[in-house]
Chains A and B, each alone.
Chain A
Amino acid sequence: MSAFNAIHGIVTRDLIRTTRQTSRLLGGVARPFMWLLLVGTGYNAIARVHGDLPYQVFVFPGIVVMAALFGSMLTAVSTVYDREFGMLRLMLASPVGPPAVLAGRSLAAVFVGMLQGGIVLIFAPLITPVSLEQMGAAAGALALCCMSSSVMGLVIAARLRSVENFAGVINVVLFPLLFVSGALYPTQTMPWLLRSLAQVNPVTYQVDLMRQAFSQPAEFSIEIDCLVIVVSALLLFGLACLLFDPEQRFIGRRVAQ
């Protein structure tokens, strides 16, 4: 029960913080639309994927995943801000311990990712014909994507020491995860090295699952997508718990946070 209360407190705080940082929230929503409209419209004129699928229709599931990925991951990475200003130590010093603290942070990140991804998803009928069932399936896929992305964000946050490193994270981690995932172009046509990387990238399975929700050609089965997303999220959550041990007894330098 006390873990539930702590998680509730952490989620409430993170959501209040998110709603009071409107520029960050709007930026998170604007980014996928910019890709969809500016890049998507341009490629739409010159590219057809999987036969005759217009590029904007093809890329839409990837753009929803992108919104979720950036929203969830950056919310989780804001843990770095808490470390820098001492709040993280206060949280880790609470009786509930690192797993409940990280569950709270992760859950808050899921909500933020779902909000940002959900806003993009609402515009699906403007891009492609979509049924209510497909929207429901896409919402479910979105929840799984956010869960996976949020724990990836926590793992990255465990090794970032200052908020200035955010830009580096976006360039070095987020964009490669997105580019090598099949979100913007099919993985089947990638060179073998990139395709191999795509197959160990959890975001690939998020995109694949989202494509299945929109009845687009997919590389893996739904079961494989869900299994990889859930198992990788659980493994990464376990890793995050070890990395966020206040004294880092298990992994990394033995320093107080």
Chain B
Amino acid sequence: MSGFPAIEAEGLGRDYGTTRALAALDLHISPGSIVGLLGPNGAGKTTAMLLLATLLTPTRGTARIFGQDVIRQRRAVRRRLGLVFQDSTVDGLLTTTENLLFAARLMGLGATAAHQSVDRALEWSGLGDRADTPARELSGGWRRILDLVRALLHQPDLLILDEPTVGLDPEHRDRIWSLLESRCRSQGTTLLFSTHYLTEAETADRVVLLAQGNVVACDAPSALQDGIGLEVAEIEGPGAERLVDALSGLGATRTRVRTERGYRVGLSGARDAVVELAGTAPGIERFTIRRPTLEDVYFAKTQDPAEPSSFPTSCSA
């Protein structure tokens, strides 16, 4: 491919008027990596993706895709990109094949190459049976798969997906991720995606967690989960706060997150002492201990993004 990183961003940021959409993103992503962008709505995920996709000009910082600058070498960058936006953009009046041919020609493929590429794509994607179906008659899931296949037609080196599975049933989500992983892993395509389904990010090489325009954590999913604590205790009931304070006093907690009914606490150790204390504490209706998940990281880091991060905030993969 080339000796350059797939994505190289330094202090990349963007303001809309007085609103700071993205403060400063530092990324260094090797070719072939799979990177997930997580964060609440308005955290800056889409802005980061649009900046890297050359569709927005940064207010500050720089970014290069495979060594090419996103401002000065837009066209060269775009040739290596495949994009899937948050909402499906297939043309309902065109058939599946016509949508794909349109996209292939748009990316600059000649007639023969476009037809060959579309024929192959129909085969590997499972869209072959729907080749002549008008896109408006496809289900939401197949339309999304069409979006995805369209982005892969010209064999991009970097695929940017903005919430590719939002609103889909588990079967289509699974189909999309199977297609993505097989195409990306086999062809060495770098994948940058955002999602609100946190389990989808668990297989990523790196997860970048954004909140209010700032990177609040960036690491491998397992490292982020370990950073929360060895285990997570879910504590509910009127006595939950008192117990959490007591656990903190023991030095047994690493993170604490307020939930609707109580607390989620990342435990740093001393499991037996914690269980014993919880067993005798008054006003505890529910006490469970489990392995940390990305959801725990998400809540711990996005609930109070102003709190100094114990996780790395510049990202290499």
Contact surface of A with B, Cβ cutoff 8 Å: 1-3, 5-6, 8-10, 12-13, 16-17, 20-21, 85-87, 89-97, 246-247, 249, 254-256
Closest 9 A/B residue pairs (Cβ): A9-B105, A2-B108, A86-B89, A95-B78, A13-B102, A95-B79, A94-B106, A95-B75, A9-B106
A93 with B78: CB separation less than 8 A: yes
Bound-state CA distance A247–B74 (Å) is 13
Across the interface, name the chain B residue whose C-beta is closest to A6. Answer: B106
Across the interface, name the chain B residue whose C-beta is closest to A17. Answer: B93
Contact string against A for B residues 40-79, beta-carbon threshold 8 Å, 1 for contact and 0 otherwise: 0000000000100111110000000000000000111011
B57 with A249: CB separation less than 8 A: yes
CB distance from B100 to the nearest CB of A (A): 11
B107 at the interface (CB under 8 A from A): yes
Bound-state CA distance A25–B105 (Å) is 26
B-side contacts of A93, CB under 8 Å: 53-55, 78, 81, 83
A17 with B78: CB separation less than 8 A: no
B56 with A256: CB separation less than 8 A: yes
Bound-state CA distance A17–B136 (Å) is 13
B105 with A12: CB separation less than 8 A: yes
Select one of B56, B74, B79, B98 contacting A13, CB under 8 A: B98
- Mind listing 13 A-B residue pairs with CB under 8 Å? A2-B107, A5-B109, A9-B104, A10-B106, A13-B91, A16-B98, A86-B88, A86-B89, A90-B83, A93-B83, A95-B108, A97-B74, A255-B16
CB distance from A159 to the nearest CB of B (A): 19
B3 at the interface (CB under 8 A from A): no
A-side contacts of B88, CB under 8 Å: 86
Say whether, besides A16-B93, A87-B89, A97 and B75 are in contact (CB < 8 Å). yes
A-side contacts of B137, CB under 8 Å: none
A-side contacts of B105, CB under 8 Å: 5-6, 8-10, 12
A92 with B104: CB separation less than 8 A: no
Interface size, chain B (Cβ < 8 Å): 34
Across the interface, name the chain A residue whose C-beta is closest to B57. Answer: A247
Bound-state CA distance A6–B79 (Å) is 13
A91 with B106: CB separation less than 8 A: yes
Bound-state CA distance A187–B195 (Å) is 61
Bound-state CA distance A180–B56 (Å) is 40
Across the interface, name the chain A residue whose C-beta is closest to B76. Answer: A95
Select one of B50, B85, B91, B108 contacting A17, CB under 8 A: B91
Bound-state CA distance A10–B103 (Å) is 9
B87 at the interface (CB under 8 A from A): yes
A6 with B108: CB separation less than 8 A: yes
Bound-state CA distance A249–B59 (Å) is 12
B-side contacts of A87, CB under 8 Å: 89, 91
Across the interface, name the chain A residue whose C-beta is closest to B101. Answer: A9
Other A-B pairs, 15, CB within 8 Å; known A3-B108, A90-B89, A95-B107: A9-B102, A9-B104, A9-B106, A9-B114, A10-B102, A10-B105, A12-B101, A13-B94, A13-B98, A13-B102, A16-B94, A89-B55, A92-B55, A94-B78, A94-B108
Say whether, besides A93-B83, A247-B55, A5 and B110 are in contact (CB < 8 Å). yes
B57 with A12: CB separation less than 8 A: no
B-side contacts of A6, CB under 8 Å: 105-108
Say whether, besides A5-B110, A9-B104, A92-B55, A86 and B85 are in contact (CB < 8 Å). yes
Across the interface, name the chain B residue whose C-beta is closest to A92. Answer: B55
B-side contacts of A89, CB under 8 Å: 55, 85, 89
Say whether, besides A6-B108, A9-B101, A94-B78, A256 and B85 are in contact (CB < 8 Å). no
Most interface-central of B54, B89, B109 (chain A CB within 10 A):
B89
Bound-state CA distance A2–B16 (Å) is 33
B-side contacts of A1, CB under 8 Å: 108, 110
A-side contacts of B101, CB under 8 Å: 9, 12
Bound-state CA distance A4–B133 (Å) is 27
Bound-state CA distance A97–B16 (Å) is 23
B-side contacts of A21, CB under 8 Å: 93
B-side contacts of A91, CB under 8 Å: 106
Across the interface, name the chain A residue whose C-beta is closest to B151. Answer: A90
A90 with B109: CB separation less than 8 A: no
CB distance from B146 to the nearest CB of A (A): 12
Across the interface, name the chain B residue whose C-beta is closest to A255. Answer: B16
